[in-house]
Chains A and B, each alone.
Chain A
Amino acid sequence: MHGTPINFGIALTWTTLVVALSASACALLWGQGRSAFARPARVLYLLQALGLATLAYWLAHLFLTHDFRYAYVANYSSRAMEKRYVFASFWGGQEGTFLLWALWSTLLASLLFRVRNRLAPTAIFFANWSPIFLLLILTAASPFRLLAHAAADGAGLNPLLQDPWMTIHPPTLFLGYASLILPFALAMATLVHRDEGAWIRSAPPFVLLSTVILGTGFTMGGMWAYKVLGWGGFWGWDPVENASLVPWLFNVALLHALLVQRATGALGRTTLFLALTSYLFVLYGSFLTRSGVLADFSVHSFVDLGLSGFLLAFLGAFAIAGYGMWLLRSSFFARPSAQLAAWSREFALWLGMLVFSLMAVLTMAGTSAPLLSRLFTGTPGNVQTNYYNAVNGPLGLLVCLLVALGPLVRWRQEAPGSLLRQALPSLLVGALAAVLAFAFGMHSPMSLALVFGALFALTANVAITLKAARRGLPYAAGYVSHTGLSILLVGVLSYSTFGRQRQVSLPKGQTVDALGFKLRYDGTVARPDGKNQLAIAVDGEGRKFDARPVLYFSEFNQGVMRNPHVERFWSHDVYISPIELKTEADAAGIVLAKGESGTASGLPVTFEDFEREGTMGDVQQGFAIRARVKVGEGANATIVRPGISMKAGYGMTKLPADLPGGGSVTLGNVDPNAGTAQILVVPPGGAAAAPEVLAVELSTKPLIGLVWVGMCTLLFGAALGIRRRLALRSAVTQGAVAAAARVAAAP
C-alpha cells in the first residue's frame, strides 16, 4: 500500500509480527531443551497476545467512533446502523476476519502453556505459525488503511448480516477454525519429539474443544440461514458451509481414531495424519472461499483482495511442512503388529473414522468441483446439491449402523457372539419406524434405510445413556453425542420428506386456501429501518396468527431480500417466505435503438434519444439518464421522459413517467454501448385494473425442531467428553503403557 501513511494500527501490526516471530524463535529453542528461553518465550507470547488484543480493540474503537478516514470502517459500517451491528462490521470484511483469526489462534494456543509435558514448547512454536501468517496477510491487506479523503458516511453492512446471530456466529466459527491449530501443532511436536504417550494424553481435550466450538459455529450459521435467508432450509451445501464442515468431519474422525490409539496403541500414524489434515482443510477452505476462485459458483459473494498468492503460500507452507514431517518421521509410530479384532469396539471406531474421512473427502471434492472440472474437462462447472445428498446418504447410513452397534461391541472382542441377540430390540424399533414412515408416504429407499438406521441408533444409545449415566453423566459423553446425532437425523429426514410446500398468489384482501391454511394479504406495514413487512392473516391448524415476512430491495446487495416468517407449532414449523409483491400491471416491454419505433402494450412507441442529467458516473452528486419516448401517433402523440437515477446512498432509482389518462412508461434495461433502451409501457386503464398481488411460498417443516435439539445434544455430549478427558488426563491408560513399553523395547 504505497502512499498510505503509517498510522498506529499499521505500525502495531508490524510490531506484533516482529514480536510473534521472536516468541516463536524462543519457543523453538526452549523446545530444543534450552530452558533459559522458557521465560522470554512466555513474555514475548504475552506481548504478542496484548498486541493483537490492542489491534482488535483499536479496530472496534474506530468502528464505534465512526472514523470514516479508514477505508475498512467506511466500507462496512455507516452512521445509521444500530450499535451492535456497527460492532459486528468488525468481521464484515476479510481483513477484520484475519485479525480475529490471529487473535483467537494466539489466545487458544496460550492453552498449550498449560500442557505439562515436553511437547508444549515445540507445539507453541508450530501453533504460532498461524498468527504469523495472518499478521503477514494483515500487513498486505490492512483494516487500518486510510482513505485519501475521509468519507462523510460509510457504505453500511450487508443487511443480511444485520441479524442478532451475526453478532456471535462469525466469531464462534473463527474460534472453531483457529482451535484446529492446536491438534495440528501438537501433532507436529509429537513428530519432532517422538513422544506417543504425551500425544495420547494431551490431544483429546483439545480435539474435543474443536468439535464443540466449530460445531456450535456452523449450527448458529444454520439457524441464521433458516431464519433470515428464506429459502426454507438450514444447510445448502454452499462452499462456505462446506469449508466449515469438512475440517469438522476430519476432527471427528481424529476423535474416534484417538480412542483406538489410547486403548490399543494402534493407529498412531493415522491420528497424526488426521490432526494435520483437519487444519490443512481449514486453510484449503479459506483459500477456496476467499481467493475468488469460486466467485461464480457460490451464493455468497467473495471479493478477491489479491490475496490468492498469500493464501496459497499459507496453505502450501503448512501442507509441505506438515505432510513432509509426517512422511519423514511417522514410521516411528507404525505398529505393524497391531491387529484390530474383527468384531471389536476398536474395529467399529476405526470404521467410523474411515467413514467420516470419506464424507469429508467427497464433500470437499464437490466443493472443489469448479476447479476439478476445469482441470479434467476444460470447462468449469459445479455440482448440484443433490451430489452431496447422494454421496453422504449411504455413508450416513453406515454411521447410523456403527453408532447403533457402538454400545454393544466390546474392546478386543473377536467374534460376533451375542451381538445380534442384544441388538434385536433396537433393530425392531428401527424396522418398525421404517414401516411406519413407508405407510406415511416415504418411498425413497435411501430415506427409509436412514429412518431405520436412525431409530436403530437412537434406541440403542438412549438405553445405554440411561445405564451409563448412573455412574455420572460424563461417563455417557459419547452415547449422549450419538443420541444427538440420531435425533438430528430423524429431524432432517422428517422435514425433507414430509414437508409440504406450495407457492400461492395472494391478491390483496382476498382469502386464499393452501395446505389447510387460510391466508389473507392485508398490505404492507412500514418499519423504521425501511424494510417493509408484509401483513398476512393466517388461520389454520387451530391457530390464528399474523405472519410478518419481510420483502425489500437492498441497495447494498442490489437485489430483493426475503426474510421469512416462521410460526412454531409443537411438532412442526409453518414457514412463509415471500417471493414477490406485484403492485402494478404487467408492463410489456420492447428494446429499441435510438430513433427506432415499435409497439408495446398495443401502443406505438418511438425511442427518440437519451437525455443526461448531471455528470455521468458522478455518484456522489447523483446523475440520471432519461429516454425521450414518443407514445402514440399524430395528434395523440405524447412525449414522456422515463429515466433511471443513480446516487450514492440511494442506489439506482427508477423514474417512471405517467401517461395522460393513466398508465405509465418505465425505462428498463439500458445498454449505453449499443445505444439501446428497453421501454416498458402500461397502457392507460391498465394500472387501475391491477390489484396488489403478493406471491409467497408456504411450507410446513414437520419435526424440524429435532434438528436443533439433536445438534445441541451432540455438542453437549462432546462438551461432557472434555470434562471427562480433563479428569482422566493424568491417568495413564493401559494402551499408552503398552505403547511406551514397545517404544522402549525398540532398537
Chain B
Amino acid sequence: MKPRIVIGSLLVLLSIAFGVTAFKQSLTPYISFAEARRSGASVQVNGVLADPSKVRYDAGRSELVFALKDDKNEVMDVVYKGVKPVNFEMATNVVAIGNYKDGRFAADQLLVKCPSKYQAEGESKAAASGPARSGSPASETPATPASSGGK
C-alpha cells in the first residue's frame, strides 16, 4: 500500500476518534440535579435561586455559596470561587458549569440571567446584530474565574 494512504487514513481515523471523544466529553447540555450528583463529571446545570436571601458571599476569599432549584423542585448547594456577579440576588435563572463533589456543586463558571428590562406584553426591542460580533447578549452576564487561555 502507498504510504500516503496508510498515514492519511490513520491520521483521519485518529482525529475522528479523538474528536468524537473530546466532543462527547465537552458537550454539556443542562442535566437534572439528580444526574449531576450521580455523574461527578463536568456538567451544566440550570435553575433558579432557591432563596435569594440565603446567598452568602465571602469577599475576602471570593467565594459565593447559594442554593439552586431545578424544574423538578430539587435543591442543590452550589459553591463558586470568584467575585459575585452583579445583581446576583435578582437573577431569574442561573446556569452553573462545573462538577458535583463533596456534597455540593463546585461551579467553574456561572451564567446569570437578570430581569434587566421590564418588557410589556407584545413589545420587544430588537437586539443588535453585529456583523462580526456584538458583545454580550441582552441580559446574560458570564462570569468566569479562570479566563479561558489558549488560542
Interface residue ranges, A against B (CB under 8 Å):
75-76, 91-94, 96-97, 100, 155, 157-158, 160-161, 169-170, 173-174, 221, 224-225, 229, 231-233, 235-238, 240-241, 244, 290, 298-303, 305, 339-340, 342, 347, 350-351, 354-355, 358, 362, 365-366, 369, 372-373, 377, 379-387, 389-392, 394-395, 492, 495-497, 499, 501, 503, 505, 556-561, 579-580, 586-591, 600, 616-617, 619, 625, 644, 646, 651-652, 668-670, 672, 678, 680, 693, 695, 697, 699
Most chain A beta-carbon contacts within 10 A, residue among B25, B89, B114:
B89
B118: which A residues are within 8 A, CB to CB?
625, 644, 646, 652, 670, 672
Task: Tell me the chain B residues, 4-47 only, with Cβ under 8 Å from chain A.
Answer: 4, 7-8, 11-12, 15, 18-19, 22-23, 25-30, 42, 44
Residues 135-148 of B, flagged 1 when their CB comes within 8 A of A and 0 if not, give 11111111111111
Further pairs besides A170-B131, A695-B83: 17, Cβ < 8 Å: A93-B131, A155-B125, A170-B130, A233-B148, A235-B150, A236-B148, A298-B137, A339-B2, A339-B4, A354-B11, A380-B29, A505-B83, A580-B85, A586-B57, A652-B118, A669-B90, A670-B118
A651: which B residues are within 8 A, CB to CB?
117
Q: Contacts A92-B128, A351-B7, A387-B23: A616 and B140 contacting too (C-beta < 8 A)?
A: no
Is there contact, CB below 8 Å, between A699 and B23? no
Is there contact, CB below 8 Å, between A678 and B151? no
| 24 A-B pairs in the complex with CB atoms less than 8 angstroms apart | A75-B126, A92-B131, A96-B131, A155-B125, A160-B133, A231-B147, A240-B132, A244-B132, A298-B137, A300-B133, A305-B129, A354-B11, A365-B23, A380-B29, A387-B22, A391-B15, A392-B151, A496-B149, A505-B62, A559-B114, A579-B83, A580-B85, A586-B57, A693-B59
The residue that B89 contacts in the complex, of A221, A339, A342, A668, with Cβ under 8 A, is: A668
Counted as pairs of residues, one from A and one from B, with CB atoms less than 8 Å apart, the total is 243
Task: Tell me the chain B residues, 80-104 only, with Cβ under 8 Å from chain A.
Answer: 82-86, 89-90, 92, 97
Is there contact, CB below 8 Å, between B117 and A557? no
The A contact surface, by secondary structure, is mixed
Q: How far is the CB of A142 from chain B (nearest CB, A)?
A: 15
User: CA of A591 to CA of B92 in the docked complex: distance in angstroms?
Assistant: 12
Q: Contacts A299-B137, A589-B53, A695-B83: A173 and B145 contacting too (C-beta < 8 A)?
A: no
The residue that A76 contacts in the complex, of B28, B89, B128, B145, with Cβ under 8 A, is: B128
The residue that A358 contacts in the complex, of B11, B52, B130, B145, with Cβ under 8 A, is: B11
Q: Contacts A339-B2, A558-B117, A616-B120: A97 and B131 contacting too (C-beta < 8 A)?
A: yes
User: CA of A24 to CA of B132 in the docked complex: distance in angstroms?
Assistant: 30
Is there contact, CB below 8 Å, between A383 and B27? yes
Q: How far is the CB of A576 from chain B (nearest CB, A)?
A: 13
Is there contact, CB below 8 Å, between B116 and A559? yes
